[in-house]
Amino acid sequence: MRPHSINRAAALALAAALLVPLTACANDAATSTHGAAAPAGQKVDGPTVKIMVGGLDKVIYLPAMLTQRLGFFAEAGVNVELMSEPAGVNATTALLAGDVQGAVGFYDHTIDLQAKGKNVESVVQFSQAPGEVEIVSTKQADAIRSGADFKGRKLGVTSIGSSTDFLTKYLAVKNGTSVSEFSPIAVGAGQTFIAALQQGSIDAGMTTDPTVANILDKGLGKVLYDMRTPEGSRQALGGLYPSSSLYMNIDWVEKNKDTTQKLANAFVKTLKWMSTHSPEEIAAKMPADYAQGGAAQYAAAIKATLPMFTTDGVMPADGPRTVLAVLAAFHPDVKGKEATIDLAKTYTTEFVGKATG
């Protein structure tokens, strides 16, 4: 970030305030922050970049850790320190405060922040679909068959104002249910989400893999809307919905183009590697503790989510407009201001277009 006259505490407070309406994205992260150092012997003579991820163990953000594990950051000539936060909003707050140079989270943050006067752009677009699944409790499966049946229901979301919250509201309104006719319940992700579903605290909810695979394996829920594939995204949201990405402050990118290119080279190489390897091969490269339900279940979760990923890091042509339409339906800073949002400034293909990965 550029130097500011305000002090660090004020910067953090401002960042947090800016992000209240749009918090954690599809969060199935671990409950504690942890760093991920480069593999032994992989330190290189090059720049060091800190990247905060909204949940390193989430399949939708898999390219971050996988790139590290494959040694592609080092090969590209950049040292990357990966950090994880259980809430995606904390990743973006850290980016705005200058604590990290990049964040891995949902692309929709870039639109939200532009509406608030902040210039952040997606540099590498990992996905073309949300990777989200609306899961209905097995006990309510016969009663909830579409968003039209959300009336009077308790629906789990990561947190109020999160991407899961927005997508849930969109699915409701699209099917004739007002946002005032159901109750969004913040239940977090992972085990807290599963417990809420199991105990009846929620009737249905939105989450991602590996939590989805865990729920289905236990017979606790059934899939209502599956947005892990481009087809599922089009059916539920009317188009491709780019989500997980590496996004950065535009000013920093402009001043550090060589380093940004190295990051793009590494991530694009990973995306291509993913497209030519099996879920089992991908799972084998990841930390063992990411397989919450065992190796086979983890590989199955990766297989179900793989279709969401791009193979080249390029933003899908019509994706940004779909995201804008969803946010404009409810977001107080975006609704009615669509014409003022310059989508061309929310992402760049400059670096992925030159990527050597």
The 3-state DSSP class for residue 160 equals: coil
The band of 25, judged by pLDDT with boundaries at 50, 70 and 90, is: very low
Residue bearing the bigger pLDDT, 310 or 158: 310
The band of 87, judged by pLDDT with boundaries at 50, 70 and 90, is: low
Spatial contact of 64 and 213, defined as CB atoms under 8 Å apart: no
The band of 22, judged by pLDDT with boundaries at 50, 70 and 90, is: very low
Q: Identify the pLDDT of residue 54.
A: 86
Nearest to 104 by CA among 68, 155, 153, 150: 68
Asked, as a colleague might, if the bond just before 210 is cis with ω within 30 of 0, I would say yes
| % of the chain surpassing 70 pLDDT | 87
User: How far is Cα 357 from Cα 262, in angstroms, rounded to an integer?
Assistant: 9
Spatial contact of 47 and 78, defined as CB atoms under 8 Å apart: yes
Give the chain's mean pLDDT. Answer: 88
User: How far is Cα 357 from Cα 13, in angstroms, rounded to an integer?
Assistant: 38
User: How far is Cα 50 from Cα 99, in angstroms, rounded to an integer?
Assistant: 8
Nearest to 202 by CA among 175, 184, 227, 228: 184
Determine the average pLDDT of the residues in 73-84: 96
Q: Identify the pLDDT of residue 7.
A: 47
Spatial contact of 115 and 333, defined as CB atoms under 8 Å apart: yes
User: How far is Cα 95 from Cα 177, in angstroms, rounded to an integer?
Assistant: 36
Determine the average pLDDT of the residues in 175-188: 93
Spatial contact of 208 and 60, defined as CB atoms under 8 Å apart: yes
Instruction: State yes or no: pLDDT of 41 exceeds 50.
Output: no
Spatial contact of 115 and 341, defined as CB atoms under 8 Å apart: yes
- The 10s digit of each residue's pLDDT in 52-68 is 998 899 999 999 999 99
The band of 258, judged by pLDDT with boundaries at 50, 70 and 90, is: very high
Instruction: State yes or no: pLDDT of 90 exceeds 80.
Output: no
The whole-model pTM stands at 0.87
Q: Which residues does 78 contact at the CB level (< 8 Å), separation at least 6?
A: 44, 46, 47, 48, 49, 259, 262, 263, 266
Instruction: State yes or no: pLDDT of 189 exceeds 90.
Output: no
Nearest to 271 by CA among 131, 122, 70: 70
Q: Identify the pLDDT of residue 183.
A: 98
- The 10s digit of each residue's pLDDT in 270-305 is 999 999 999 999 999 999 999 988 999 999 999 999
Strand order in the sheet with 102-106: 35-36, 79-84, 48-53, 102-106, 244-249, 120-125
User: How far is Cα 138 from Cα 122, in angstroms, rounded to an integer?
Assistant: 38
Burial class for 354, CB neighbours closer than 10 Å (0-12, 13-18, 19+): exposed
Determine the average pLDDT of the residues in 115-126: 96
Determine the average pLDDT of the residues in 320-330: 92
Can you state the percent helix, strand and coil of the chain, rounding each to 5? 45, 15, 40
DSSP character string of 68-84: HHHTHHHHHT-EEEEEE
Determine the average pLDDT of the residues in 224-246: 96
What structural domains and CATH numbers belong to the chain?
A: 8-129+241-353 (3.40.190.10), 132-237 (3.40.190.10)
User: How far is Cα 249 from Cα 263, in angstroms, rounded to an integer?
Assistant: 14
